[in-house]
Structure 1
Amino acid sequence: MFGKQKNGMKFLRTRLFLDNLKSFIKGWLLKFTNMKIGNQESISEWHLISEYKIDINWREELGEVNHSRIHNMSLGADTINGTLLKPGKVFSLRKILGEATIQKGYAQGPVFRNGKTTYTTGGGLCLDSSVLFNAVLYGNLKILEKYNHSTDLWGEDRFVDLGRDATYVYGRKDLKFQNNTNSDIVINMGVSKEDLYIWCKILSRDQVVTKVRVEKNILNELLPEDSENIEFVKGWEVITNRYSQLDDGEMLTYSKKEIYKPFVKGIS
């Protein structure tokens, strides 16, 4: 057991080093920030750039673990809330949230790998990363790094549309974006435990005009091999495009092609 833990820590350190190296090469590393809006500063006069809300589905099959996943979402939202980005600065969810640990107050929650549900400390944080991504998407901010989930586990009952989910795995899958406006911006985020939704707003100190159109196209429907007479969940190849609407037309400001793998139910 100790040997496995040691190897796991070594692997994590390697992944963190490689992530920092990539950020250095791309010129992001020195632009990361964990600055928070001052307690004495009011944002009531700031301007709304974008906002997004995701309903939290109460998954009956998870039982009491639902409370833990919502607790994790709320704790993550509280940590992100109030983050301030000056023009040109880069947001990294890894730099803000870090690793979800028991010491930070996180509980065991569900995560989904290869079409199966497992449990780990901090499970549920993918709704935080997903609602933040969508607010950033509609705010026309520059998206640097984003990962979708590997499978479309919930099908038509998915919490956001294909191409609009953003997973977070410490040291492996991050959400990074840049404040490409000329104004300071702040992230507001919270969870309504009573009405079961998570929300995110992007606010700017100065007026920032953003008009965007987001479009998703399914490129391919993916099926597992030998799909006859077995129960399976389809996979997809999708592309998500964002267009900034200008006086003289539109300009493509984000485009990402993503794959959700098909899987046979009951087989990892």
Structure 2
Amino acid sequence: MSRTSRIIIVFLGLLAGLFIVLIGSFGIDRALHVGKVLHNVHASSVDLSGRNETGAELALVALEDELSATPAVFDVTGTTLDLDPTTVRFDIDELRAAAAALDVGRDGTVIDQFRWWLVHIFTVETVPVHGSLDEKALSAVFDYWDESAISIPPFDGAVEVRGIQAVARYPNPGTGIDRPSASKTILASLLDPDRPIVTIETAPLQPNLGVGDIDEAVEEAQQMIGRPVVLSREDPDISVTFTPRDLASALRSQIVHNSPAHIQLSFDPEVIGAILEPASADLGVPPRNASFEVGDDGLVTIVPGRPGQIVDPELTAGALAVASRMPERTGRLPFEDAAEPEFTTEDALALNIKHLVSQFTTYHRCCQNRVTNIHLLADIIDGAIVLPGEEFSINEYVGQRDTARGFLPDHTIVQGKMVDTIGGGVSQFATTFYNAMYWGGYEDVTHSPHSYYFSRYPEGHEATISWPAPNLVFRNDSDAAVLIKTSYTDTSLTVSFYGDNGGRTVVGEQKNGRLHTEVTSEGDGTARKVTSSVSPRFDETEPPTEYTANDELLPGDEIVNVKGRVGWTVIVTRNIEYPNGHVETQEWRVRYRPQPREIEVNSCMIPPEEGQEPVPCPTTTTVASTTTTTAAG
């Protein structure tokens, strides 16, 4: 074998050996990098070689932290501006970059992969790193740069007011950041670890509105402020007139940049509030308590309460914006709720007052002082509410009757005698009230019948009051509150109790000396039923005679001032049948004193007190048609 042949064989052997070494090295490298990034693969400035997917992602997270901690520098029309990457929420897509790094060198056939491996033994392949920015945050940065570095924004135009005249300010173009280009430039700069100073491009900016838009807005503004606007409301009647000068001072124009952009005209609530302030005390509406309304059918409805209200400047500005565009230039004056009422609709509902339970009427002659007193008492008590379990005292509720409140003097029985007292003669109210309570089945805490019998009152179940005693007190022993209503005419008085007795209603009256009661509605099974009886009179007592000396009378003559009346006793029985069948029986022993016979007689006709001598009667001598009276003996 020639020397040349040996050299060729050795060379081929070396080549074969080298090839075998390379093939072996390639195989070993691939075996060592299963599931890992191949040798000499970078992402940006980070070497990802030999890292698995998680390791590559962590390395890229570290890169993001490093880039986010380093401000980027930009040149905007000669002004150098720093940008903190976190301000625009800079974010690297680590998953995408790690996946791309794992794919490098693994595409194509084995020969393609071997060729890539062979080329990159000493060279680096860098995969692209993608990132993102928050558009809203970036837009805010652009707004700031436009204002601080350029300061030539486009002017969209406006409507100004001079005096009471609307005036146009027309649009002008401006200069600002070329935002589509700048967004790409900033992202590329933030992804670059070297952080070079990058120039941000600018572009002309056109206004959103044209001359025609401004002219149209000026015409509308003049319509809004050119004539007065009146806002009003009812219950209570309130109206406010806004003059053209008021309207002009409050008019505001604002560009609305939705599609299409336009000028929005409105009134400033703060200015409107200042205009209303001087009259604010007259514009407030006090809270209204809930109340009860009774119908002719005896049913009770609730009139809802209403919070106190004050004029709302913001809503008023809105109402003006509407009314000022209308031909009639009027609108509703809006209010907002303020203080809540002391007695709310919910409070009224909770009282469970549903229907007329009992009612009683008595009659009297017209136009006496006592009638005035009765009416005053009725007015004071009308609308009183007695909660379940509470006691109601007429004297405590009304207080002392005095002339300051309009009460007049009239008859009152004091120690068996009729004397005038301020606020006297109101026992008719007490009796009427007592019978409404009595027939409603409510608990009688205390009452005092009259000393003497009066036919205008029901025998036995009647009552008298005076100040401070006697008094009339009852307790509401039902589950619902009691609403007391009073009404009167010149010759009658009615007291009504409203509550809930299962729909049962009793109506009564004392007329022409006779008692009449009627159950106008039986109600349901939850009602308690009242029946009553008065026994025959017993223990009758003849009236005593009370003498008054009148020596102008002849012996044997008399003047009868009060005829007198016998006295007697009756037993009043009230039975209350409850829904469970239980019957409660109550009795009152009522004693009417005999009313003395009061007469005037000559002194000698008055029976002497025990131990006294009788007064002798005079003798009469007639001289020349003259009657002379001399004492006997």
Which 10-residue stretch deviates more, 161-170 or 74-83?
A: 161-170
In structure 1, what residue type is equivalent to 2:538? L
Classify the secondary structure of the residue corresponding to 1:137.
Answer: helix
Matched pairs, number: 215
Q: C-alpha separation between the residues in 2 aligned to 1:251 and 1:225?
A: 42
User: Alpha-carbon deviations, 1:1-21, whole Å to 9, x = none?
Assistant: xxxxxxxxxxxxxxxxxxxxx
Q: C-alpha separation between the residues in 1 aligned to 2:594 and 2:464?
A: 18
What TM-score, normalized by structure 1, do the two folds share?
0.72
Deviation of 1:221 (Å): 1.6
Residue matched to 2:383: 82
Residue matched to 1:16: none
2:528 to 192, 198, 210: 210
When residues 120 and 206 of structure 1 are mapped into structure 2, their CA distance, relative to the original with a 3 A threshold, is same
Q: C-alpha separation between the residues in 2 aligned to 1:161 and 1:101?
A: 29
Residue matched to 1:29: none
Confirm or deny: 8 A CA contact 1:189 1:200 kept in the other structure.
Answer: yes
When residues 206 and 222 of structure 1 are mapped into structure 2, their CA distance, relative to the original with a 3 A threshold, is closer
When residues 90 and 108 of structure 1 are mapped into structure 2, their CA distance, relative to the original with a 3 A threshold, is same
Residue matched to 1:220: 539
Q: C-alpha separation between the residues in 2 aligned to 1:114 and 1:162?
A: 21
When residues 226 and 122 of structure 1 are mapped into structure 2, their CA distance, relative to the original with a 3 A threshold, is closer
2:360 to 23, 46, 52: 52
Residue matched to 2:441: 140
Q: C-alpha separation between the residues in 1 aligned to 2:501 and 2:579?
A: 21
In structure 1, what residue type is equivalent to 2:540? E
Q: C-alpha separation between the residues in 2 aligned to 1:207 and 1:106?
A: 39
Residue matched to 1:14: none
Structure 1: segments with no counterpart, 5+ residues: 1-37, 59-65
Residue matched to 1:100: 401
Confirm or deny: 8 A CA contact 1:49 1:210 kept in the other structure.
Answer: no
Classify the secondary structure of the residue corresponding to 1:103.
Answer: helix
User: Alpha-carbon deviations, 1:53-104, whole Å to 9, x = none?
Assistant: 001135xxxxxxx431111100000111111011100001111121111112
When residues 205 and 263 of structure 1 are mapped into structure 2, their CA distance, relative to the original with a 3 A threshold, is closer
When residues 263 and 114 of structure 1 are mapped into structure 2, their CA distance, relative to the original with a 3 A threshold, is farther
In structure 2, what residue type is equivalent to 1:125? V
In structure 2, what residue type is equivalent to 1:199? T
Q: C-alpha separation between the residues in 2 aligned to 1:200 and 1:221?
A: 33
In structure 2, what residue type is equivalent to 1:95? E
Residue matched to 1:129: 430
Larger Rg: 2
Confirm or deny: 8 A CA contact 1:243 1:250 kept in the other structure.
Answer: no
Identity %: 23
Deviation of 1:247 (Å): 6.6
Confirm or deny: 8 A CA contact 1:73 1:191 kept in the other structure.
Answer: no
Map of 1:100-249 to 2, 5 A cutoff?
A: 100-113=401-414, 116-152=417-453, 154=454, 158-193=455-490, 196-204=491-499, 207=502, 209-217=527-535, 218-224=537-543, 231-246=563-578
Confirm or deny: 8 A CA contact 1:110 1:117 kept in the other structure.
Answer: yes
Confirm or deny: 8 A CA contact 2:545 2:597 kept in the other structure.
Answer: no
Which 10-residue stretch deviates more, 71-80 or 248-257?
A: 248-257
What TM-score, normalized by structure 2, do the two folds share?
0.32
Which 10-residue stretch deviates more, 131-140 or 237-246?
A: 237-246
